[in-house]
Each structure stands twice: as structure tokens, then as C-alpha cells.
């Protein structure tokens, strides 16, 4: 087994350059104190924020500056913490910033209620008296859009003070599933008894040995079955909290509240679900392919994650991956590539694993930092794809911040996965074009198949289940484990189809999905990949106007709502063609995989 380096042993050229944010701990601590003083100064504006155009402009710019400085502090502290999660000094820095956020919330709560207590005509007159306010008009209008859902000042203050008490159901669920559940042991490929965890389950369910997959599957869900009452209670509590908060804020339903922030028409959700439902035959064809390739008489649910093809022996050193990504993204133009090269030369990326480093990968940063990327790169094909994906996020952030002032210098969550998935798809298309190795090509196609299956169909199935659970609460029906498990099993029957044995244990899988605590988030994965497929079709057609429209979207930030932002790139999320283009790409990939096998 390779030696896992301590953080101090990792060469600097493989680390991100966080010293560009704060050079020393002393500089970080001085900023903490300076921001706290600025918050205290801001609190003196209470009762006066809309007295005049001058004080109104001062309150907006001062509030933005505090938020901007807090974001910079959190970026630094959070990423320092992720370098080595066992480093208590860095954990303390992160906690400091979280506490400072809470302090700011308690001291600055009055800004929005005071604006909403001011007649809009007064604010309109302020634009005349202080024209610089016009640069903030979109955000001001957004506040007024929330007026029907904003409470009187004292009630908002009460909710703000209670904010730290919210989310306990999710926290409890996290502790239970991450730490407290004991899944016992199973036998690995060598017959050795090994502990099963919620984390390593994802390894054993992909095992080439069927008996290992089956034992892991049955053992894991046997334990979840034992805790169905507890997890139903935490899920029910989270739903009831969101439903109650929606009603307190004068929304008709929690679903309406979830869509309101993005100004989404429910038609987006409905069109997505109906489009996927109308094309379940494509997913069922994928499972027929899987059954054929694995040469199984019966395809069980513990067979649907193991690789269709052996892992490619090809190694992809980071330098090779960097070159592949740069070549794959050339259709986005020379300017994009030249900007992207900064990621590799300016210290954006923390590349390799080290002891106690946070797992996985992400893109992060703030308006005043580089768009950093955390990786745990290990020379695998998946790592190349992850690099392209995270750089998609980072380039989106780069162009947004480069082209927008702070108040519009971020992008809506609804479009967050579009740029990253565009990069993933362009990489896969490029590698298929240049590769002459059959095993590598099959591995790339398999990777694409998993992307479509998991990001479109699986997430829509999750979305249907989540909507069902919320509807139960909205209709004052009692949520029980039996209702949830029955519905989840029925959905699995629909999505897997008649060629798959839908094992009874899958009824408990919903219990292990933390995304159900994110309040109608899962469907956004499916809308994101659907938009990305539509965009990639246009880019690879060679139509420069479509490419330029996409780049313009990346630079738009949050000046417009998500649907209008995507329309800049030629994507109408209310049009079923967007979703069907993604499903066509899935169907084409299934056929390409079949043809590659025969060649």
C-alpha cells in the first residue's frame, strides 16, 4: 500500500496557494476583529437605513462589504480545515468564522424588514437622488419580491435568533448514519471477514464477485430496516419544519417555497418528471444491456452498480489529465483555454491525498479569492473526469467574478451543475474521439452510462419520492415507515422495469439518502445534466454563436433568475426538448457501447 503523506510532506507545487488569501494567522485574526467591529458599526444603522438615499446606499454597501469579508474569511478557514481535519487549530478557525456569521445575523437582521417597511415609491425616488443605487436595483427588487413572505421586524428577529435550533433533525440523522449505525461484517473477495460501513458499501456493491455484492446489499439494508422508525421520525421532523416555516412565511406549500427562490415555474419540475417517465424504456434498455454483458439469468439490484467492463489499467498522471482536459475544452475557444491554464500555474488546485485530508473533491472560493479546487487525485479515469468537472465550476466562478460586481458575482444554485457537467461531457467526447484502446473506450462509455443513469433517472426517482413525502405532511396525513417504504419500493419497480428483480430490501434505501434533507434539491441534478447535454450538442455542432452564448451565460452571474440565465445559452427549461436531448444522448451511448463490444 502506498504511503499516505502527512500534510507537511506534500510538495508546495501540489498544494493550493491559500497564503494569497491570508499570509499569516495573525493577519486572519486581525481580519476577524476588524469585521466584528464593522458589524457593530453597522448595527448603529438600525432604524435609519431608509431615512435618505445616502443612508440607504451606505447600508447596502456596508452590508455587502461585511458579507464579502465574511465569505473570504470562511473560504480560508474552511479550506485550511479541509487540508487536515485532525488539525484542531484550523477547526477552531472555522468555528470562529461560523460564530461571526451568527453574530452578524443577530446584529444585521433589521436591514431587510426596514426596506420592506418603506414604500417602493420612496426607494424609486432614491435612485434619482443617488444614481449609484441603480447598480443594486436587481437585488433591491428581489427583496421586494419576498415582501409577501417576510414577517414584521420583531418576528424576523425571533426567527433569526431561533435559526441555530433549526436543522437538528438533519444533524441527528447525520450522527446516526455516519457514526452510530453498526453494520457488522461481511466477507470480501478473498473470504476475509471485514467491517461494513455506509462508506465502504459503495466499494463492495461494485465488487466483481456477486456473493460479496449480495451479502453487502442484504446486510446494509437489514440494519436500516431496524432503524426505520427512528429515521422516519428524523425525516418527518425535517419535513414538518420546512412545511411549518413555509406556512409561517405565507407560502401555500413547502414546494412553492422551495421553487420561489429560483423563480421557478412548477412546469419545470413537471416537465422533467413527465419527460423521464415517458422514456423509462431507455433506462430499461440500459438494464437489459447490463444483464447481457454480465451474462446473468436474473439481474438483481445488487448487480446494477458493478462495472460493466473491468477497470482500465491505464494510468493518468496529473500532467496527462491536465493536457486531456485542456485539449477536450478547446471547442470553448482560445480565451477560455488561456484563462483555464491559470488553474495549473497559479495554485488553484490542491491535488493529491494526504493524511486526514477531507475526502472527495469540490470547487470553492469567494469573490476575493481564486476559484480553488480540492482533489484527491490518484491517476484513475474517474479522477480525470473529476478534474474536468470541478474546473467547470471554477471557470464559471472565474467568469462570473471577472465580469460582475460583488452583488451579482455568484451564480444561482439551479445552474450550478451545468458548467461542470458540460466539461465532463466534452472530456468524454474528446477521449472517445482520440482513443484507439477498446478497453479504454468501453470504460469511458460505461462512465457516461453511469452518469446518465445516476444523474437523470435516479435523481428524478428521488424527486418523486420526496414530493410524495411532503405531500403527505401538507395534507395532514401521518407519515409512517410502511407508507414510505411501500412508495419507495413501487418507484423502484417502475424505474428498474420487468427485466430486473426488485429485491425487497430496496424498500429501505431511502433511509440512506441524505439529500432528502436538502428540501427539493435532488431534481436539480437532473435539470443540470439536461441543460448541459443541450449545450454540448450546440458547442460540438461547431456553431460559434451557440458557444459564445454559453460563455456569455457563464459571465452573467446572478443578474437574472436561473431560467433567464439559462435562456442566454439557448436553454428553455420548460421545454421538454431539453430533457429529451439528454435522454437521446443516453440512448445513443447505450447503442455505442453495444457496438463497441461487438467490434
Contact 72, 368 (CB under 8 A): yes
Closest by CA position to 141, among listed 115, 117, 160: 115
In the block, cell 472530456 appears at 427
- Is 511 known to be catalytic? no
Distance CA 201, CA 114 (A): 51
Distances from the Cα of 77 to the Cα of 66, 70, 94, 369, 469, angstroms: 16, 10, 5, 13, 37
How buried is 430 (Cβ within 10 angstroms: 0-12 exposed, 13-18 middle, 19+ buried)?
A: buried
Contact 66, 104 (CB under 8 A): yes
Q: To 10 degrees, the CA torsion angle through 74, 78, 81, 82?
A: -160
Q: What is the largest CA-CA distance in the chain?
A: 78
Distances from the Cα of 91 to the Cα of 82, 86, 279, 440, angstroms: 9, 8, 47, 41
C-alpha grid cell, residue 516 = 432528502
Closest by CA position to 530, among listed 279, 272, 280, 274: 272
Which residue in the list 390, 424, 466, 505 is annotated as catalytic?
Answer: 390
Contact 75, 98 (CB under 8 A): no
End-to-end CA distance of the chain: 37
b/e code 257-272 from CB counts within 10 Å (16+ = b):
bbbbebebeeebbebb
Closest by CA position to 193, among listed 212, 171, 214, 176: 212
Please identify every residue annotated as catalytic: 390
Amino acid at each position: 500500500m502506498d504511503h499516505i503523506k502527512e500534510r507537511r510532506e506534500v510538495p508546495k507545487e501540489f498544494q493550493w496557494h491559500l497564503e494569497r488569501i491570508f499570509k499569516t494567522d495573525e493577519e486572519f485574526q486581525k481580519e476577524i476583529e476588524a469585521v466584528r467591529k464593522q458589524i457593530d458599526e453597522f448595527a448603529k444603522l438600525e432604524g435609519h437605513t431608509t431615512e435618505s438615499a445616502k443612508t440607504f446606499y451606505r447600508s447596502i454597501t456596508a452590508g455587502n462589504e461585511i458579507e464579502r469579508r465574511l465569505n473570504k474569511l470562511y473560504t480560508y478557514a474552511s479550506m485550511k480545515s479541509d487540508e487536515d481535519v485532525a488539525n484542531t487549530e484550523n477547526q477552531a478557525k472555522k468555528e470562529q468564522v461560523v460564530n461571526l456569521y451568527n453574530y452578524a445575523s443577530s446584529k444585521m437582521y433589521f436591514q431587510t424588514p426596514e426596506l420592506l417597511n418603506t414604500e417602493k415609491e420612496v426607494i424609486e425616488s432614491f435612485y434619482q437622488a443617488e444614481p449609484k443605487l441603480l447598480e443594486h436595483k436587481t437585488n433591491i427588487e428581489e427583496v421586494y419580491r419576498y415582501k409577501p413572505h417576510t414577517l414584521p421586524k420583531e418576528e424576523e428577529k425571533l426567527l433569526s435568533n431561533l435559526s441555530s435550533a433549526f436543522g437538528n433533525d438533519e444533524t441527528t440523522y447525520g450522527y446516526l448514519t455516519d457514526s452510530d449505525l453498526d453494520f457488522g461484517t461481511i466477507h470480501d473477495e478473498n473470504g476475509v471477514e471485514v467491517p461494513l460501513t455506509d462508506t465502504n458499501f459503495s466499494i463492495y456493491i461494485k465488487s466483481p464477485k456477486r456473493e460479496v455484492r449480495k451479502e453487502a446489499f442484504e446486510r446494509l439494508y437489514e440494519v436500516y430496516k431496524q432503524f426505520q422508525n427512528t429515521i422516519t421520525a428524523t425525516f418527518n421532523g425535517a419535513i414538518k419544519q420546512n412545511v411549518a416555516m413555509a406556512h409561517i412565511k405565507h407560502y401555500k406549500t413547502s414546494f412553492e417555497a422551495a421553487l420561489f427562490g429560483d423563480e421557478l415555474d412548477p412546469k419545470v419540475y413537471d416537465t422533467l418528471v413527465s419527460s423521464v417517465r415517458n422514456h423509462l424504456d431507455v433506462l430499461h434498455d440500459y438494464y437489459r444491456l447490463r444483464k447481457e454483458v454480465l451474462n446473468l439469468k436474473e439481474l438483481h439490484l445488487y448487480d446494477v452498480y458493478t462495472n460493466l467492463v473491468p477497470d482500465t489499467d491505464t494510468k493518468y498522471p496529473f500532467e496527462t489529465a491536465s493536457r486531456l482536459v485542456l485539449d477536450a475544452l478547446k471547442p470553448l475557444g482560445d480565451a477560455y483555454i488561456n484563462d483555464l491554464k491559470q488553474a495549473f500555474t497559479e495554485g488553484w488546485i490542491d491535488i493529491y491525498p494526504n493524511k486526514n485530508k477531507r475526502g472527495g473533491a469540490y470547487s470553492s472560493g469567494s469573490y476575493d479569492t481564486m476559484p480553488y479546487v480540492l482533489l484527491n487525485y490518484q491517476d484513475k479515469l474517474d479522477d480525470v473526469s473529476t478534474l474536468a468537472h470541478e474546473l467547470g465550476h471554477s471557470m464559471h466562478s472565474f467568469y462570473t467574478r471577472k465580469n460582475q460586481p460583488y452583488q451579482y458575482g455568484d451564480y444561482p444554485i439551479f445552474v450550478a451543475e451545468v458548467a461542470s457537467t458540460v466539461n465532463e461531457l466534452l472530456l468524454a467526447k474528446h477521449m472517445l474521439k482520440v482513443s484507439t484502446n477498446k478497453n479504454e473506450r468501453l470504460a469511458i462509455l460505461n462512465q457516461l452510462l453511469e452518469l446518465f443513469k445516476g444523474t437523470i433517472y435516479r435523481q428524478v426517482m428521488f424527486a418523486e419520492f420526496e414530493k410524495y413525502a411532503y405531500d403527505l405532511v401538507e395534507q395532514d396525513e401521518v407519515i409512517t415507515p410502511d407508507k414510505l417504504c411501500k412508495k419507495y419500493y413501487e418507484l423502484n419497480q417502475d424505474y428498474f422495469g420487468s427485466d430486473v428483480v426488485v429485491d425487497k430490501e430496496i424498500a429501505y434505501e431511502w433511509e440512506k439518502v441524505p439529500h432528502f434533507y436538502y428540501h427539493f434539491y435532488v431534481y436539480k441534478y437532473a435539470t443540470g445534466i439536461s441543460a448541459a447535454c443541450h449545450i454540448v450538442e450546440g458547442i460540438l455542432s461547431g456553431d460559434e454563436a451557440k458557444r459564445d452564448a454559453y460563455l456569455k451565460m457563464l459571465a452573467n452571474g446572478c443578474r437574472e433568475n436561473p431560467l433567464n440565465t439559462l435562456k442566454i445559452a439557448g436553454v428553455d427549461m420548460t421545454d421538454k426538448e431539453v430533457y429529451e436531448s439528454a435522454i437521446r444522448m443516453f440512448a445513443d451511448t447505450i447503442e455505442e457501447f453495444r457496438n463497441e463490444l461487438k467490434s
